[in-house]
Structures are given as C-alpha cells and as structure tokens.
Amino acid sequence: MSSDDSWKIGILFSTTGVTSIIEQSQLNGTLLAIDEINAAGGVRGRPIAPVSYNPDSVVSCYGEMAEKLIVEDRITALFGCYMSSSRKEVLPVVERRNALFFYPTLYEGFEYSPNVIYGGATPNQNSVPLANHLMNNFGKRIFFVGSDYIYPRESNRVMRNVLRQGGGEVLGERYYDFDADTAQFARIAQEIVDLKPDAIFSTVVGQMCIDFYRAYHAAGGDGRVCPIASLTTNEAEIAAIGAGAAVGHITAAPYFRTINSPANRKFLKAYKQKFGTVRDVTSCCEAAYCQMHMFAAALEEVGEMDTDRLHEALLGASFDAPQGHIKIDPDNNHTYLQSRIARVDERGEFVIENKVRRAIKPDPYLVYPGIHDWSFRTQKVAQTSA
Ligand code: ACM
C-alpha cells in the first residue's frame, strides 16, 4: 500500500514526564491496533497513518497539540490523553473544530461531549464495585490519598458518597502536587500506618504512585493486611513498584493482563511480538487498542473522515475485546465495559478475585449509583481465568 492515500489520524500520548509509564502503554496499544488494521489491508484498501506528538505530560501541551493536529496537519480523528486535566484541554479544541476525539482512560465521569468517544471506565463501572468489595472484605474505615487535580478530587467525592451509603467512613483525605517528594509520601505513609484504617483508596497517578506505594511499604504498611486500593495502579506501575512493596494491593479495572481467554492470549502474543514484552500491558493500553479497532470499523463503514458520520457509525458499535465484549453506548458516547477487581500476588501479578457477570452500562452522571445494586451481580473468581 502506498502511504500517499493514507488515512491520517492524530495521537497525543506522552512518552516523557510524570504519566509517561501509562501513556507509553496507551501509545503501544494504539500502534499495535494500527499495525493489525494495516496488515489486514487497511481501511477500504488504504493504510492508517498516525501523526504522533509527545505532550511531555504537560497539561497545556495537549490542547496546543490538538489544535496543531487539526489546523496544521488537517487531521480530524484524534486519540490520546491519560489525565483528566489534559482531556479538559483538548475538549474545547475538538468541539470548536468539530473533530472526533477518542479518550481511552478511566475518569471521574460527569461529562459528555458529542465530539468524544469515552473508552475508559466511569465511576459506576469501577468505584462502586470497588467500594463494595472493600467494605465487604476489609472494613468500613477508609483513608483517601490522591494527586492534586480534577480526577482524584472528583472521584473521591463519588467514592465518599458510595462509602457513606454503605455505612463507611472516610478517615482522612490528602492531595499531593506533581512535584511532591518522597519525604512527603514517607510522612503520610507513617500517618496512615499509625491510624490503622481498614483500607486506603489511592488516586495517586503516574510516577508519584510508585513513590507512595514504596513509602507505605517502608513505613511498615502491608497490603495483605491493609491494602491500597486504586483504579490508577495498573500492571506497569506494579512492575515499577516491585512485587515486594506491591503484594496484597488491589485494583479495579475492566481488563487485567492475567485474563485467560483466547482474545486476550491473541492480544498479548501480538503485543509481545511487536514490543518484546507484555510487562507494561495495562487496562488503559487495552482500551486504546480497542478504540483504534472500533474507529477503523466505523471508517470502513463510512468511507470518509467525516466527524458526524463517524460518530453516528460508532454509536452502538461493539468489539470482542481482550477484556470481553464491549459496546459504545448510543445514549452517552461512553462504553459498556467489564468490571473486575484484582489483588497483587507475591510474584507481582494481578489475581482476579471478583468480577461482574456482564459488561456494565456506563452511567457517567451516576443516575443509578446505589451500592447495593452491585453485590448480586458480582461473582467470586477462584483463579486467574476471569
Ligand atoms: C484520570 O486522570 N482520568 C486518570
């Protein structure tokens, strides 16, 4: 295939800076999907050609680079962002210029844009099952620690409400800037160990997440006794933290690398072939992979880079993802996703302990947030084959 007649798409994931560990995994998922699409003949016989910029994890750069992709590179389908603060920078740009933006990251909800396809979990798909799991298995006294930006503050607001509905209590709540040093994490870790909560809910992201887990371990915190539960600590961060400090901690996500299904084995094999390892495969990587495949299927149907027609084709579209079957909800542009809860074992691998029976409808505005709705839908999982 010649590249002259390619379909140009824009990519905004950071390969440097505080969130580069997770964003690199999202970039890899995106590039793997593009390889697969192109190897299968492209879209209507034309290859997808990515134009990729590195925003260096600097929030304002995402908006500026989105503008550059649309105005200078004349691209109207964009993929990118991890932090909600960076998505908020891109949002007005794609709305003003009527571009289509694919966001493959869990987030705090309470947003809808006709120009965004949301591929990550909303709080009803992860926070609500996680709160339920913590209160049932560990206790009702929870301490919150987060990075200081919109996602942690908003998702803690939701978590606080869900815990209170279930009779739980928030013992404390702390936020840290992106330049927080290890001494600050050592102090809060000691404070938490002294306070003895039943569990910690962490919305600390990126490099800081690694510092926090290590500080908790150094202060004598033991995940097997009082776990840190998080939505933003995935396989890549666990690998960086190390199995010794990570054991016992908990993450809720639609996807874990340890899922034992044909679709996931195929995905991991292809990933390993391209990148040499599966060490950094995360739920956000998988979401990015799925979004690119779903975009390509919509483009195949529509045959042109028309935002409105692509949007229409994407609503209700489904995909047999590595996590299981997923579908874009035509009501709100978010995605029906699987929901799993996993715990890190001694080898540093996530062992899935709980999952819902079927993909959960996204409810970004928490119209149906009742915690008791979830317990009967979950099932205990005996081993890693979830
Ligand atoms: C996030 O900021 N949405 C993880």
The pLDDT assigned to 369 comes to: 57
Ligand 1 pocket test: pick from 83, 158, 231 the residue with the most ligand atoms within 8 Å of its Cβ: 83
Given the CA of residue 150, which atom of ligand 1 is nearest to it? 2
Segment (H or E) for 221: none
**CB-based contact 110:154 (threshold 8 Å):** yes
CATH architecture of 3-121+259-336: 3-Layer(aba) Sandwich (3.40)
pLDDT tens profile 289-310: 999 999 999 999 999 999 999 9
Distances, alpha carbon 43 to alpha carbons 46, 82, 294, in Å: 5, 27, 12
Token pair 């094999």 is at which residue?
269
**278-298 per-residue burial string, b: 16 or more CB within 10 A, e: under 16:** eebbbbbbbbbbbbbbbbbbb
Q: 155 CB under 6 A from ligand 1?
A: no
- Mutation probe of ligand 1 site: the residue of 106, 110, 147, 231 with most atoms within 8 A of C-beta: 106
The CB of 232 under 6 Å from ligand 1? The reply is yes
Whether 364 contacts 334, CB under 8 Å = yes
For residue 105 and ligand 1, the question of a CB distance below 6 A is answered with: yes
57 lines ligand 1 (CB under 6 A): no
Q: Which residue's structure tokens are 């925003």?
A: 55
- β-strand pairing of 250-253 with 340-344: antiparallel
At residue 4, the pLDDT reads: 72
For position 381, what pLDDT does the model report?
63
For ligand 1, atom 3, the nearest C-alpha belongs to 107
Q: Is any atom of ligand 1 closer than 6 Å to the C-beta of 147?
A: no
Tell me, in angstroms, the distance from the centre of ligand 1 to residue 284's CA: 10
Read off the tokens for 250.
Answer: 């908990």
Residue 84's CB is within 10 A of a number of other CB atoms, namely: 24
Whole-number Å distance between alpha carbons of 321 and 332: 20
Q: How many CB atoms lie within 10 A of CB 231?
A: 26
Smallest CA separation from ligand 1 atom 2, residue: 83
Q: Which atom of ligand 1 is nearest to the CA of 106?
A: 3
Atom of ligand 1 nearest to the CA of 231: 4
Separation of alpha carbons 84 and 106, rounded Å: 9
User: What residue spans of 219-323 are helical by DSSP H?
Assistant: 235-241, 243-246, 262-275, 283-302, 307-314
Which residues in the chain come in under a pLDDT of 70? 1-3, 369-386
Dist. CA 222 → ligand 1 center (Å): 26
The sign of the torsion formed by the CA atoms of 201, 159, 316, 24 equals negative
Give all strands of the β-sheet with 77-80 in edge-to-edge order: 48-53, 7-12, 77-80, 100-103, 116-118
Residue whose CA lies nearest to ligand 1 atom number 4: 83
Class of the 123-258+339-380 domain?
Answer: alpha beta
Indicate which residue's Cα is closest to atom 1 of ligand 1: 83
Closest to 119 in 3D by CA, of 337, 317, 306, 310: 337
Q: How many residues does the chain have?
A: 386
Question: Which residue shows structure tokens 């195929």?
Answer: 266
Cα R_g (the chain), whole angstroms: 20
Q: Which of 231, 232, 284, 285 maximizes ligand 1 atoms within 8 Å of its Cβ, making it the mutation to test the pocket?
A: 232
Domain ranges of the chain: 3-121+259-336, 123-258+339-380
83 lines ligand 1 (CB under 6 A): yes
pLDDT score recorded for residue 385:
46
Residue-wise pLDDT tens digits, 178-193: 999 999 999 999 999 9
Q: How far is it, in rounded angstroms, from Cα 110 to Cα 104?
A: 16
Closest atom of ligand 1 to 85 CA is 2
User: In this structure, what is the dihedral angle of CA atoms 143, 124, 120, 287, given to the nearest 10 degrees?
Assistant: 100
Topology agreement, domain 3-121+259-336 and domain 123-258+339-380: yes
Q: Are 386 and 259 in contact (CB under 8 A)?
A: yes
